[in-house]
Amino acid sequence: MNLFPQTRNWLTDRILPLSVLGVLLLFTVGWLDVAPYVGFYHTSTGVVTEAYGPDTPEHLRVGDQIIQIDDVTWEDYESDLRQPLFTDVETGDTLKMTIIRDGEEITLDWVIPPKTPGEISARLINIWWLAYFFWIAGTATLLLVRPRDTRWKLMIAFNYLTAIWLVAGNLSSSHLLASPLAMRIAIWMCLPVYLQLHWNLPKPLMHTPKVLWYVLYAFAFVAAVTQWFQIIPKSSYLFAFLGAILGSVLLLFLHFLFRKEQRRDITILLIGTLLTMLPQIAPAMAEFNSGFNTLYIFAFLALPFLPSAYFYTLYRRQLIGMELRANHLISGYIYLIVVMIVFSLWLPFALERFAFQGAGAFISLFAVFLATLFTIVGYERFSRFVERRILNMPLASSELLQSYTDRIATSLDTASLEHLINEEILPSLLIRQSALLDLAKEKQVEVVCSKGITPDQLPPESQVTHMSASSSPIPGSSEIEGHAWIRLALPLRVGDELVGLWLLGQRDPDNVYNANDIITLRSLANQTAIALANINQAEMLQMLYRANISSQEIERGRLARDLHDVVLNQLALLNMKLDEAAAEAFHEDYQTLIKYLRQTIQGLRPPALNYGLRTALEAFCDDLSDRANGDLEIEFEIEPCDTHFDPTIESHLYRIIQQAGENAIRHAQAKHLHLYGKISQTEIELHLRDDGVGFNTRSGLDLSTLLTHEHFGLVGMYERARIINAHLKIDSLSRKGTTITVTWRPDDLPAS
């Protein structure tokens, strides 16, 4: 029996987190207790930033530049990361200091003052708290997350290394406990860990050879060792820090740019970073303006959000039934941070502006009142915004059924139904895999919409028939051989008629569909069945309508040929047989009849179409001009071309423009008509613009709306465009004219 894996797991799960925690506690104790309370703080360049002693000329002031303390010069301190400025000093001890103040070198005796609340709070309320939040996130990943893959290892290393350099960096200015060296070593090792993590976060950007990562880790390790022995410059770690941070940002940007499916996860990380950083900045702004610094306490409430955002992004699908509660917790937490940022900026100004007795208590109560009012009025909307835009939950469970019922009634085509199911219903229910199958009797099994699966993952027709035979939901099982992704199968019925089958697969967080879930899905399936039946009926009616249009065109063409080839020829022969002395009135009637017949033939199928679409359109414009008797100005701008297309295509495009022109004359009261565009081998694009009364298109131009308002001509135009897969666009405003645009490309030719 091989006990090595168990031993290794025990070491990993116990020794590693405890060891890291020990390091954090060591540096924390060093910061809170070992580092002397000397009454002042300084920057890495020796400039005094805080001085807690008396404000007298012989004492330190903010802005003083430290040159030497006792026997330790600032040069010695800077050159050796193990050399502290002072050790083993206590309250009352005297430090002999050399400083530069206002350009003049001064020597003074600094008597270490007693600890002040300000000095103690400056140590307590500090960035070192954040290190423990990263340790918690790393330990939670270590103990709770499975599988133990590369991302698991990187996530643990990311959190633990970040925790170490945060807490060590907090103490590093004192040069105690080798903290500056520990910080630099941790940052050097962060370089490969950060880059590899963000390369694989939330999924790998692309495949990379492992040797590249080995080289990067070896380089970081060598740099860390040389940094420990202070062989390389002490500031070299800054290059590693910048490389880790900027490289991570760049990789996140590349994920956002090239992996559209990962954008919501990247957004969560960015929001987590902002919500962690902004509360730290807001109190600083408030302090700068009014000296109000107690808000730092509230700012630290936001610190857990950064490690939590990483943990949630990578492992939210493994929260074992807690994701819905986690989502609500995240919404509330974000709301708290936002309110905190707003009031941390507003309160100091209010306290400074309203300076009267009891102003602090009054303003605080007023702030609580406003926060409560905003919460009552706006929290629900804020929570829905977070769930919809950030956490990818478009519909709340409480409104899911009602919203779906209301919107499904207007989904009269498969595209609308697909968008509603894939983009709103499935994300709201945390369902990652789905396939909606149409089982109408007139056709074979057809996929209406799918998500998260490939075509080869669909079950064969025999299994679909078996699953759809049941009248109740079918839990997925091993009986569906080779299709283990299916967790639930919902037959869709309208009365006794089977219209479809809804297959549901992976569902976050644990692929479980409980009884309440099935009841909800069953109700959604019933609505979907009705919508599917309506779509099938609408498609059938559209097919019949299109077939009717096609048959009309065929009949018109046949009748036009008969009139032209038979009737006109017979009339011509009859005219030749007449005596020249025949009555003049007969010849006038004869010419009138010929003209009428030619107009009829023109209406049935323009003979000019035999010479190409452009010729036919030009003849149509001439005919409109003649019929208008000078009341309509027509402008024709289409370059001559020798390109000819299928007569059916040209006929439908001609009819669309013809109908648009007829509408301009009959209904728009237009005075000017402009037909322009281009006809080429790669594209036909035609525009017909008039200056008529126009109409309002804001209510939509879908089929039901057009039929309701009896725009039958427009209905015919849209249907003709659909028949040949052309794109028809109508732009119109009341009293501002109308522009009809129809575009067709040979590549869009519908399959026969």
The residue assigned the tokens 């962060």 is: 190
Tell me if 118 sits within 8 A of 296, measured CB to CB.
no
Q: Nearest-CA neighbor of 571 among 592, 605, 588, 594?
A: 594
| Residue range 199-223: mean pLDDT, rounded | 89
Query: Checking DSSP bridges between strand 72-73 and strand 65-69, what pairing results, if any?
Result: antiparallel
Reply yes or no: is the peptide bond before residue 5 cis, omega within 30 of 0: no
Residue 246 has pLDDT above 90, yes or no: no
Q: Structural domains in the chain?
A: 4-37+115-258 (no CATH), 281-390 (no CATH), 400-605 (3.30.450.40), 606-748 (3.30.565.10)
pLDDT at 293 (0 to 100): 44
Tell me if 310 sits within 8 A of 272, measured CB to CB.
yes
| Residue range 399-415: mean pLDDT, rounded | 71
Q: What phi and psi, each to the nearest 5 degrees, are found at residue 634?
A: -115, 130
Tell me if 616 sits within 8 A of 606, measured CB to CB.
yes
DSSP-derived letter for residue 431 is B
Residue 42 amino acid letter = H
- Could you tell me the sign of the dihedral formed by the alpha carbons of 75, 81, 86, 91, in that order? positive
Return d(Cα 378, Cα 376) in angstroms, integer.
6
Return d(Cα 625, Cα 648) in angstroms, integer.
26
Residue 334 has pLDDT above 70, yes or no: no
Highest mean pLDDT among 94-98, 139-143, 533-537, 595-599: 94-98
Return d(Cα 222, Cα 227) in angstroms, integer.
8
Helix/strand/coil for 434 = strand
| Strand-pair partners of 493 | 498
pLDDT at 236 (0 to 100): 93
pLDDT at 7 (0 to 100): 46
| Residue range 549-556: mean pLDDT, rounded | 61
Reported confidence tier of residue 287, pLDDT bands at 50, 70, 90:
very low
Residue 369 has pLDDT above 50, yes or no: yes
Return d(Cα 523, Cα 408) in angstroms, integer.
13
Reported confidence tier of residue 750, pLDDT bands at 50, 70, 90:
low
Question: What pLDDT, in 10s, does the model give residues 61-91?
Answer: 888 999 999 989 999 998 899 999 888 888 8
Tell me if 641 sits within 8 A of 680, measured CB to CB.
yes
The residue assigned the tokens 């509360």 is: 279
> Which token pair is 744?
């067709």
Q: State the distance between the two ends of the chain, measured CA to CA, in whole angstroms.
A: 67
Q: Nearest-CA neighbor of 441 among 524, 359, 537, 329?
A: 537
Query: Checking DSSP bridges between strand 633-638 and strand 672-679, what pairing results, if any?
Result: parallel
- Strands, DSSP E only, in 177-262? none
pLDDT at 705 (0 to 100): 59
| Strand-pair partners of 447 | 437
Residue 290 has pLDDT above 50, yes or no: no
Query: Checking DSSP bridges between strand 474-475 and strand 488-494, what pairing results, if any?
Result: antiparallel
pLDDT at 411 (0 to 100): 63
Return d(Cα 161, Cα 679) in angstroms, integer.
65
Helix/strand/coil for 616 = helix
Reply yes or no: is the peptide bond before residue 606 cis, omega within 30 of 0: no
Return d(Cα 408, Cα 532) in angstroms, integer.
10
- Could you tell me the sign of the dihedral formed by the alpha carbons of 9, 11, 13, 17, in that order? negative
Cβ neighbors of 485 (< 8 A, separation 6 or more) are: 433, 453, 457, 476, 505, 506
> Which token pair is 500?
């479809």
Residue 133 has pLDDT above 80, yes or no: yes
Residue 147 has pLDDT above 80, yes or no: no
Determine the Cα angle at 648 with ends 647 and 654, to 5°: 85
Return d(Cα 675, Cα 658) in angstroms, integer.
11
| Residue range 273-281: mean pLDDT, rounded | 61
The residue assigned the tokens 């060891």 is: 19
pLDDT at 751 (0 to 100): 47
Tell me if 624 sits within 8 A of 670, measured CB to CB.
no
Residue 195 has pLDDT above 50, yes or no: yes
Tell me if 42 sits within 8 A of 48, measured CB to CB.
yes
Residue 112 has pLDDT above 50, yes or no: yes
Q: What percent of the chain stands above pLDDT 70?
A: 67
Q: Nearest-CA neighbor of 711 among 724, 721, 722, 702?
A: 702
| Residue range 364-390: mean pLDDT, rounded | 70
Tell me if 430 sits within 8 A of 465, measured CB to CB.
no
| Residue range 140-149: mean pLDDT, rounded | 79
Radius of gyration of the chain, Cα coordinates, nearest whole angstrom:
39
pLDDT at 189 (0 to 100): 96
Return d(Cα 420, Cα 524) in angstroms, integer.
12
Query: Checking DSSP bridges between strand 738-744 and strand 684-690, what pairing results, if any?
Result: antiparallel
pLDDT at 741 (0 to 100): 92
Mapping DSSP onto H, E and C, the string for 628-668 reads HCCCCEEEEEECCCCCCCCHHHHHHHHHHHHHHHHHHHHCC
Mean pLDDT value across the chain: 76
More confident residue, 270 or 92: 92
Query: Checking DSSP bridges between strand 104-111 and strand 94-101, what pairing results, if any?
Result: antiparallel
Return d(Cα 385, Cα 396) in angstroms, integer.
11
